[in-house]
Amino acid sequence: MMSRDREPRPVFRLPWRTTRALERDFDEELAFHRDMRFRDLLGRGIAPDVARAMVDAETGDIEAARRDVVTSDRRADAATERRHVIDQLFQEARHAARRVRAQRGFALMSVATLALGLGACLLMFNVVAAVLLSPLPYRDEQRVIMVWQYVPSLDLGDREQPLGGQELRLMHTTVPSFQAVTGFRPRALNLGSGADVERLDGIEATGEFFDVLGVRPELGRFFTRNDEVPRGDRPVVISDGLWRRRFGADPAIIGRALTLDANRFVVTAVAPPGFAFPRGPEMPAAFAFPPRADAWIPIAPPRGGPDELAVAARLTPSATLAEARHELDGVRDAMLRIYPQGKGFFGTLAVPLRTQLIGQSDRLVLSLLAAVGMLLVIACVNAAQLQLAQLHRRRREHAMRAALGAPAWRSLLGSVLDVLIVSLLAGTAGTALAAAGFRVVREQLADRFPLVANASFDSRTVIVAVLVTTAVGLVAGLAPGLVTAREPLADSLRGTGRGVAGRAGAERVRRALIVVELTLAIALVTMAGLLGKSLTRQVRSELGFTAPHGITFDVTLPISRYPERQGPTYMEHPLGAAFITAALERIRATPGVDAAAMGKPLPLSGSQEFSVFSAEGLPTPSGGTLRGADYTFASDGLFRALGTAILAGRDFTSVDREDGLPVVIVNHSMAKWLWPGQSAIGKRIKLGGLTNGGAWMTVVGEVADLKRYALTDTTRPEMIVPYTQRPYPSFATLQFVIRSRLTPAELRSAMQRAIGQVDPTVAVSHMSTIDELIDDASTSARFAAGWMSVFGASALLLAMIGLYGVIAYSVLERRQEFGVRRALGASTGQIIGLVLREASVLCAVGAAIGLVVAFGGGEAMRSFLYGVSAYDAPTLLGAILALLAAAVAAGVAPAWRAARVEPKTALEG
């Protein structure tokens, strides 16, 4: 150890001596010795041949000695080399740490820049990991598929339509690819009664529901096909959440009797924690599945009645999706034979479960991931810029070291270590930033993307963080290092940077880098602008209803007490209708309520009803398929309560009783579609085909189009019928809308009181303001636009910092030139203009290339854009102006400094 301090450290040595070289050394050493001895002996007058013999005798066993020396020298060499390299690494690391400390401002800026880029990247990676890479909590999830009916000839918005009990029974028997198959639908339940009544979101499912999903109960046993037909007490499976909330996690819950919708059920199982299949946001809107179910009850595949089952199936281990699809075509053909007319137009759609659950969100998060990738590149370029400036400042030192024989790799190593230290700090800060950001994301997306709601900031992200951080350090450190390493030594040694070739080279690289930065920045700003504009367009779009003071809530009638009856052409709900009439009376009588109505489904409530119909006097469309339109059943006053304009005719009134003239109200799209250029009032339509025995309904009103499902919907034809005449298809869950200046809290108790007076077993649920509904409907858009703006603004800021660095440095380098200009009479304004022009030129080049990138980005995001083109000129212009402003802002300070250069500087050297 001591020797290391005393002995001169070799600046450079061959890292390795070969065996040959070692042998040669040894031989040469020995030969020298023998020769000296030989001469010595000769000098004493000994005869040459005697002398040679003596030398040989004195030498000893050369071969053994050589072997010994060479092998152990080799080993020692290797060890020394290792120690040497490690020593040098430590030495460089110490130097690097010292340099970073000495340049605290520079380091802080690099760390902040990289932390921002890395943080954004890790955040989005974690979101991607949560949404796309996390396994679903179902056994062999890739074997689980969803099966839908789709109706190719109709525009139904959602492609996925429900199937009926008949199809389900056929699938049980004629689809060998299915190991298990189940049909399920939402079923709201009222638990308990009186003041204690609680509305539960439930699911009715056929026996193989849990077999399809492959989950195990936390307690008890799940129902099977044997439980489909009730024998004695009916089984119910409750969620882990309900078990803990309502029953205090009672381990003796199994076998406990519950009153659901005034019927006796027995708890047979508790679902595992987190299990809530199917979740509303992951299923097509038409099904109105609740956000998370709390109870599951078995049903037999329904006979007759409307199709309203969602179907899921588990494939056998050997079956492929293609085989399943082929066999499902057989089901369609069989149905065709049973219903040659009625169902002739349907097909089946088989979708892997994961695709179903994720939907379009993969494209959204991947777009954002691409965006943060760009941000990271900008951050790297900035770090590289800073490093380049740093190296440029230190090029004299480097040149000196090189001249003294330091190998190029040591300079490079130093440069890489500088950035590695910086990037490690940045990686730590970035990871913290990303973890904090993810908490925000989870908050924002919890309702919409349950996969994100359950995700944490996970270890994969940390691994990626380490890898990316290191890679960034290597790239940002190596690239500038390589550039400087190529600089001619003499130029660098001259030092002041007036060596033309060297400066021009480095300058070119810096300019190219800043153009890359500006290019990406403008692309990001443009994409943020597009998404922002799209969001504005969405929430300001013509909704067809108004938000202020609007409040909606649900009420679920227990089917057992409000039985449906198969009427001649539709389901009859006499008790349900009476409930609505009585409830509306009470609600309207509540002080503070300005207007109230029932409508199902209400706009943005996440559900959809649809019906085929025929119009009097219009030919059936070619191909024999029927026309279809959205279907709403409503009370009078719905349009007043929603703030929807009645364009012609009248609202429903008390005249529209069951025994009165059957009436219907159509929306503007429907009127325009069926009777263009004519008044719709007085025209007649009927549900189903022309030969259907149902009654003709006379159009009595035309109303403005309503945005029903999503803010981005193009409005579709819709018919609205009075609940007093055509209650189709189900009254199970009713929706009310009221206008009131009361707070939601005041309203909740007032409404529960009003409803309770009509029926104490019925609960008010899902109360929300119309503003909240609009917010929920724009979750994805707000998420995308919000984060993209954050990323865009960061990109702009980073580009500004980068541009500032380049301009400031260039001004510093050209001090003398400015001095000369000043001496020759250039005004302050002229010099400022000169510098700003430099910034603007860079900016213009960046903008030109950036727009091309932005076009690509806009194209990729097309499906998220609403009411704004991917090539929206104002947005592009805005992005360019923002960038120009940033460029000028970045250039002003250096320009001012340039203008203040004293003319005498021209004489300095």
Note the residues at the interface with another protein (CB under 8 A): 2-3, 6-7, 25-26, 28-30, 32-37, 40, 58-62, 64-66, 68-69, 72-73, 76
**Tokens encoding 361:** 């969100």
Q: How far is the CB of 401 from another protein (least distance, A)?
A: 23
Q: Least separation, in Å, of the C-beta of 5 and another protein? A: 9
65 vs 885, beta carbon nearer another protein: 65
Q: Closer CB to another protein, residue 64 or residue 195?
A: 64
The helix/strand/coil state of 689 is coil
Is 688 in a helix, a strand, or coil?
Answer: coil
CB 871 within 8 A of CB 851: no
With respect to another protein, which residue has the nearer C-beta, 64 or 404?
64
The two tokens of residue 431 are 């990871």
Of 25 and 447, the one with the shorter C-beta distance to another protein is 25
| Contact residues for 589 (Cβ-Cβ < 8 A; gap 6+) | 754
Distance of closest approach, residue 819 Cβ to another protein, in angstroms = 53
CB of 72 to another protein, least distance (A): 6
Least separation in angstroms between residue 64's CB and another protein is: 7
- Cβ proximity to another protein: between 40 and 140 the closer is 40
> At what angle are helices 815-823 and 779-813 packed, to 10 degrees?
70
H helices of 1-103, in order, are 2-6, 19-43, 48-59, 62-102
Tell me the closest approach of the beta carbon of residue 473 to another protein, in angstroms: 36
Residues 6 or more apart whose Cβ sits within 8 Å of residue 619:
none
Cβ neighbours around 705 below 10 Å, total: 22
Residue (69 or 812) nearer to another protein, CB: 69
3-state secondary structure 544-577: CCCCCCEEEEEEECCCCCCCCEECCCCEECHHHH
| Cβ-based nearer residue to another protein, 67 or 101 | 67
Q: Which is nearer to another protein, 36 or 501 (CB)?
A: 36
Q: Please, what is the minimum distance in Å from the beta carbon of residue 59 to another protein?
A: 5
The SS3 call for residue 149 is strand
Residues 899 and 828 sit within 8 Å (Cβ to Cβ): yes
Q: Indicate the DSSP class of residue 14.
A: -
Give the residue with the Cβ less far from another protein, 76 or 885: 76
Nearer to another protein, 78 or 108 (CB): 78
Q: How far is the CB of 88 from another protein (least distance, A)?
A: 18
| CB nearer another protein, residue 74 or residue 650 | 74
Residue with tokens 């119009």: 615
Q: In the numeric block, which tokens belong to residue 169?
A: 């029974």
- The distance of closest approach from Cβ of residue 38 to another protein in the complex, given in angstroms and rounded to an integer, is 11
Dihedral over Cα of 650, 651, 655, 659: its sign: positive
At position 514, the amino acid (one-letter code) is I
The neighbour count for residue 55, using CB atoms within 10 Å, is: 17
Of 34 and 325, nearer to another protein (C-beta) is 34
CA pair distance 718, 665, nearest whole angstrom: 9
Q: What's the token pair of residue 241?
A: 């959440």
Q: CB of 63: closest distance to another protein in angstroms?
A: 9
H/E/C letters for each residue in 819-836? Answer: HHHHHCCCCHHHHHHHHH
Closer residue to another protein, CB minimum distance, 83 or 498: 83
Report how far residue 693's alpha carbon sits from residue 361's, in angstroms, rounded to the nearest whole number: 45
Number of helices and strands (H, E) in the chain? 26, 23
Minimum Å distance from CB 65 to another protein?
4
CB contact burial 248-287 (16+ within 10 A = b; e otherwise):
eeeeebeeeebbbbebebebbbbbeeebbbbbbbbbbbbb
Backbone angles phi, psi at 352, to 5 degrees: -55, 145
> 473-505 in b/e burial notation, b at 16+ Cβ within 10 A?
bebbbbbbbebbbebeeebbeeeebebeebbeb
Instruction: Report yes or no: 587 and 747 within 8 Å, Cβ to Cβ.
Output: no
- For tokens 């703030």, name the residue: 643
Distances (CA, A) of 454 to 85, 273, 275, 451, 461: 48, 11, 11, 6, 16
What is the C-alpha radius of gyration for the chain, rounded to an integer number of angstroms? 39
Count CB neighbours of 233 within 10 A.
15
Helix, strand, or coil (residue 814): coil
Smallest distance, another protein to C-beta of residue 409, A? 25
Q: Are 111 and 383 in contact (CB under 8 A)?
A: no
Identify which of residues 58 and 658 has a Cβ nearer to another protein in the complex.
58
Would you say 79 or 885 has its CB closer to another protein?
Answer: 79
Find, among 640, 777, 790, 801, the residue nearest to 712 by Cα.
777
Q: Which two tokens stand for residue 118?
A: 């890395």
Contact (CB, 8 A) for 370 and 860: yes
**Amino acid, single-letter form, for residue 542:** E
Q: Minimum CB separation from another protein for residue 12, in Å? A: 15
CA distance 351 to 600: 29
CB-count burial class (<10 Å; 0-12, 13-18, 19+) for 236: buried
d(CA 377, CA 383): 10
- The least distance separating another protein from the CB of residue 92, rounded to whole angstroms, comes to 24
Taking the least distance from each CB to another protein, the nearer of 29 and 333 is 29
Q: Quick one: 77 or 813, whose CB is closer to another protein?
A: 77
CB nearer to another protein: give 36 or 432. 36
